[in-house]
Structure 1
């Protein structure tokens, strides 16, 4: 009997050691999301001891690590999304990316291996501005401005659209093939293209659920429509007025006496939206600087989950994680027509986020559609400067 028990113990130890996770090599890793059979989204990870960071150009996202017996969950801090991985050896990680925002069954195969730089075998350069059309020759066609910098065969940049930017893109050119991407737990964007002289032609993939073709021409003079002109007041007789539950379930009304003689930013947004988060972080800096001088900010949230509890949970997580000090209310589902019904004095709500800036007398003074954040470089700095100047002017009136 002793030998039998000993044998069982040895077998158990062997099985446990077989399935136990290893310790990955410290340093930069290449991560891969298998979007389709022949389509892979590459991104980069920095691993150090028990620390995992996703790297998108200058953006770094520290993942929360939760270890299990035979797998590890790597949670994205701002979104209901995680990587569930098995560390198979010091040089091999496999698993899946789960995005609960897309449903409980949404998952994409994931793998990673230590970083190896690609040989510089390109003679083309995509640095500069590109007049871009997504879904060309279709009724869904829309314009964008591609802005890229190339150093050797490494490419960074982004696309600006009239409803926001595609955030921090990075990637490479090999021969005449461009591949740039971003992965932040909510967005998994991949752009591929063939480069021919001053033209780009390729595909845009969003996760494994959507794709379209795109093309671009080199054009240093191309500009998008002014983001302050896309949404506008069509009926000045209709006041901005709403009642929504706050995060404690109490009814929040606007206008109310607490906002009299105040400059108010009403931000239409969602906790699922990375561009909304970028804007919220900018508004945090504004609020900290100008709240004592009379600035108020109300974030009106349009959320993906169907249940009120899950909607509140997502907004609370974002608010707490980023220490956002202003007001949050839950308005409804993440649909632009829903927001348009709540703000009938406007022509249309085209994008989350959209911000309505109201002066001390209660008059709408500016409406900004979408948000082009830090990934757009000088475009973001110009927006930051202009918005800060507008708030200062309204506070001084």
Structure 2
């Protein structure tokens, strides 16, 4: 159930509870891997937490989803409770420590005064996702699946996503590719004739359930996201399933050849593609938001790539579209993102993350249909290629293909 409360009210409740308990010393957390669950409308959404002693009195925490170990911000313990923040996404886990069990809430700020919450529990000993791996799987789901989200019929009438799964025993890892990005690292199990997948990364909360029809080679079920999101989905096994060309969705308007931008960095400095640092350089323009996990996946690729390649005559510019156009509110978020990913290239506040408003801010484009979107500009300042969305490392071979094509395109532009 969705609960909306203010930051101030929660802080007051925590302070009052600690004062009433009379506790002055902090409880310690047993290090190790925990099986965590969020209590969602679709049922328990499981994920892993690896909690280890960190610097000073804090703890280092990783969220575990498939092969991903996603670092959370340093966790702290006060009294009998632990707080595990993910400041980039304005969310956190707060729980009371009870032996080897943690009980509390996940909460995420949605506006300046309101947050969303879900119950949270974690128990030491991460030995299973949904069920023990020793259970025998009935279905085999490895491969590509043409997927239709929002389909109530259970048939696959259209394809707006491609599921890519790899199954070992009853364990399944994979993701869904869509025209605007992927569903990051999904992890789960085949239980009888049914598929269960989940993901938690501080921002995304995904829970998938589906029943397998072996005769028709189909899946049909439900998808729960966030606090209250839900839609049905269906999929058909199809090794040839593919999405529209990501270069066909966003393009320059007739007559346009370049991208006209002039926006401020958090320090107030205006940045334009006509600035000297971009002159005669191959430039990558990244349309992103600090709130967007797919954008963070791309940033995690671009930031070290830029460090390795900037001496070759390339530049990168990030255009951040945030939940607020107010620099006082969004500037610190951009700075936190730059610090977390050690970004050396400029990132400016270009507007709000409403796609219609983002499209108005970039009038040379037909539309901004996805965060992230990446533009490749040649040494003469002309836009040569636009890639909508991003297939992150959770997509396996699709990510490898993107990186290869990215580098080939940069090499070609540099050689001109």
Same fold, judged at TM 0.5 (above): yes
Which whole-Å CA distance do the structure 2 matches of 1:35 and 1:306 have between them? Answer: 32
Instruction: Please give the secondary structure, in 2, of the residue aligned with 1:42.
Output: strand
1:61 matched to which residue of 2?
A: 70
- CA change 1:269–1:22 in 2 (3 A) is same
Give the aligned CA root-mean-square deviation in angstroms. Answer: 2.4
CA offsets, 1:245-281, max 9 Å, x none?
1120122223223321111111110011111111112
Of 237, 240, 253, the residue aligned with 1:234 is 253
Cα deviation, residue 343, structure 1: 2.2
Of 97, 100, 103, the residue aligned with 1:94 is 103
* 1:44 matched to 2:63: no
- Could you list the runs of 5+ residues in structure 1 that have no partner in the other structure? 1-11
- Contact (CA 8 Å) 1:146, 1:160: kept in 2 or not? yes
1:380 matched to which residue of 2?
A: 399
- Contact (CA 8 Å) 1:157, 1:375: kept in 2 or not? yes
Which whole-Å CA distance do the structure 1 matches of 2:26 and 2:223 have between them? Answer: 35
2:284 matched to which residue of 1?
A: 265
Which whole-Å CA distance do the structure 2 matches of 1:163 and 1:365 have between them? Answer: 20
- Contact (CA 8 Å) 1:22, 1:89: kept in 2 or not? no
Instruction: Please give the secondary structure, in 1, of the residue aligned with 2:280.
Output: coil
Instruction: Please give the secondary structure, in 2, of the residue aligned with 1:201.
Output: strand
Of 87, 93, 115, the residue aligned with 1:105 is 115
Which whole-Å CA distance do the structure 2 matches of 1:295 and 1:247 have between them? Answer: 23
Instruction: Please give the secondary structure, in 1, of the residue aligned with 2:338.
Output: helix
* 1:184 matched to 2:201: yes
Which whole-Å CA distance do the structure 2 matches of 1:329 and 1:247 have between them? Answer: 7
Instruction: Please give the secondary structure, in 1, of the residue aligned with 2:333.
Output: helix
Aligned length: 382
Which whole-Å CA distance do the structure 1 matches of 2:111 and 2:66 have between them? Answer: 25
Of 29, 32, 36, the residue aligned with 1:31 is 36
Q: Which moved more, 1:71-80 or 1:158-167?
A: 71-80
* 1:135 matched to 2:132: no
- CA change 1:351–1:15 in 2 (3 A) is closer
Q: Which moved more, 1:172-181 or 1:317-326?
A: 172-181
Of 171, 176, 179, the residue aligned with 1:154 is 171
Cα deviation, residue 360, structure 1: 0.7
Which whole-Å CA distance do the structure 2 matches of 1:102 and 1:83 have between them? Answer: 18
Cα deviation, residue 78, structure 1: 3.5
Cα deviation, residue 62, structure 1: 2.7
Which whole-Å CA distance do the structure 2 matches of 1:67 and 1:26 have between them? Answer: 13
* 1:249 matched to 2:268: yes
Instruction: Please give the secondary structure, in 1, of the residue aligned with 2:394.
Output: helix
Which whole-Å CA distance do the structure 2 matches of 1:241 and 1:86 have between them? Answer: 51
Cα deviation, residue 387, structure 1: 0.6
- CA change 1:116–1:260 in 2 (3 A) is closer
- CA change 1:102–1:167 in 2 (3 A) is farther
Q: Which moved more, 1:321-330 or 1:42-51?
A: 42-51
- CA change 1:137–1:32 in 2 (3 A) is closer
Cα deviation, residue 315, structure 1: 0.8
Cα deviation, residue 22, structure 1: 4.8
- Contact (CA 8 Å) 2:212, 2:218: kept in 1 or not? yes
